[in-house]
């Protein structure tokens, strides 16, 4: 009887111990057999990149140089010949990708362009021909559109050049001269006037005055000082840094007459009004530049090429060059 009692107490003691354990320890659910997370990722490394990603829009930075040039000749203050030409040059910034097409549009709002020629090396001819047909139907071209592809970056490349019609006749400067004979000397007075309507100041003026054979060019004396005698070209050269809107530059040059002209007062040097010389014996050529300005209303803008979206930006530098020949 004593052994049976001892076993009963032992079982009760074990049961009580089990009841005293926490429920979490009493019931532990079986975990399913799962592969480690690292194994799943290693089997499917591109699982999170299966969706296609859009390509970033290319950023293109273009520098454009628009240079116009006027070549004119005057006789007795009346225009004899005058032409205005323009050149469009483009440069792709070194940080921009090459061979990305874009559209360049040359606008001509008041129809000043007579002819235009493009550089076929950089222009899509199919796109250009389509635009030409459309413009031909309108009869008057107010815009010239080109799809351009640049194979290089970092340097300017000529893209198009144009010539204006005869109605475009700007007058950036006026040249006046007068010649008088004083004894053994021939004196020339010259005045260069800048047009007040110029939108910028004239810079880098080179003034060439041809000298006839009946005066000794090497004896020239100029006022103000600075005139340089060129014996090979038989001309006097003045260099002027700048001339503002509406400003005038006056100068004088004095030469000795050759002996034969002094002894012959009826010679070509002094015919006319007695002591009045002939200004046409001293023709003048003036060359200069004008930055940040142009002679026409031609404009330029950039757009995306068809089907090629880009983030495009443009900087435009304008200037014109002048070659003015005056034969009084």
Average pLDDT, the chain: 82
C-beta separation of 87 from 55 below 8 A: no
208 plus 278 within the same structural domain: yes
154 plus 134 within the same structural domain: yes
Least confident of 30-39, 199-208, 232-241, 257-266: 30-39
184 plus 268 within the same structural domain: yes
Q: Is pLDDT of 130 > 50? A: no
Q: What is the CATH number of the domain that holds 95?
A: 2.60.40.1170
Q: Is 72 a domain residue?
A: yes
Task: Quote the Cα angle for 285-178-213, to 5°.
Answer: 65
Q: Is pLDDT of 134 > 60? A: no
Q: Is pLDDT of 262 > 90? A: no
Task: Quote the Cα angle for 245-249-250, to 5°.
Answer: 155
269 vs 294, more confident? 294
3-class SS of residue 11: helix
233 plus 263 within the same structural domain: yes
Q: Is pLDDT of 6 > 50? A: no
52 vs 64, more confident? 64
232 plus 136 within the same structural domain: no
The pTM score is: 0.75
70 plus 107 within the same structural domain: yes
Residues 6+ apart with CB under 8 A from 79: 72, 73, 169
Confidence of residue 76 (pLDDT cuts 50, 70, 90): confident
Q: Is pLDDT of 57 > 70? A: yes
| Domain count of the fold of the chain | 2
Tokens at 185, concatenated: 């000397």
Confidence of residue 279 (pLDDT cuts 50, 70, 90): confident
136 plus 274 within the same structural domain: no
Q: Which domain holds residue 74?
A: 59-169+295-327
Per-residue model confidence (pLDDT) at position 277: 80
């Amino acid at each position: 009887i004593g052994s049976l009692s001892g076993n009963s107490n032992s079982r009760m003691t074990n049961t009580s111990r089990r009841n005293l354990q926490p429920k979490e320890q009493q019931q532990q659910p079986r975990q399913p057999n799962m592969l480690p997370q690292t194994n799943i990722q290693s089997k499917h490394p591109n699982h999170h990149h299966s969706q296609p990603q859009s390509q970033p829009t290319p950023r293109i930075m273009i520098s454009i140089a628009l240079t116009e040039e006027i070549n004119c000749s005057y006789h007795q203050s009346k225009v004899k010949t005058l032409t205005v030409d323009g050149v469009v040059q483009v440069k792709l910034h070194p940080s921009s990708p090459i061979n990305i097409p874009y559209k360049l549009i040359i606008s001509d709002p008041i129809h000043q362009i007579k002819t235009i020629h493009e550089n076929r090396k950089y222009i899509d001819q199919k796109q250009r021909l389509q635009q030409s047909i459309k413009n031909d139907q309108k009869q008057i071209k107010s815009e010239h559109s080109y799809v351009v592809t640049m194979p290089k970056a970092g340097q300017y490349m000529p893209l198009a050049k144009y010539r204006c019609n005869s109605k475009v006749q700007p007058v950036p400067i006026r040249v006046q001269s007068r010649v008088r004979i004083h004894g053994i000397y021939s004196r020339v007075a010259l005045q260069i006037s800048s047009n007040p309507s110029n939108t910028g100041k004239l810079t880098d003026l080179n003034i060439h005055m041809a000298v006839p054979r009946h005066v000794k060019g090497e004896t020239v004396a100029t006022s103000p000082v600075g005139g340089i005698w060129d014996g090979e070209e038989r001309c006097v050269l003045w260099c002027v840094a700048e001339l503002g809107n509406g400003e005038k530059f006056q100068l004088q040059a004095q030469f000795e007459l050759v002996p034969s002209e002094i002894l012959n007062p009826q010679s070509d040097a002094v015919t006319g009004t007695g002591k009045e010389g002939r200004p046409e014996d001293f023709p003048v050529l003036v060359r200069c530049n004008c930055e940040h300005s142009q002679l026409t209303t031609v404009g330029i803008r950039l757009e995306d090429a068809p089907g090629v979206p880009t983030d495009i930006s443009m900087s435009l530098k304008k200037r014109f060059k002048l070659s003015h020949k005056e034969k009084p």
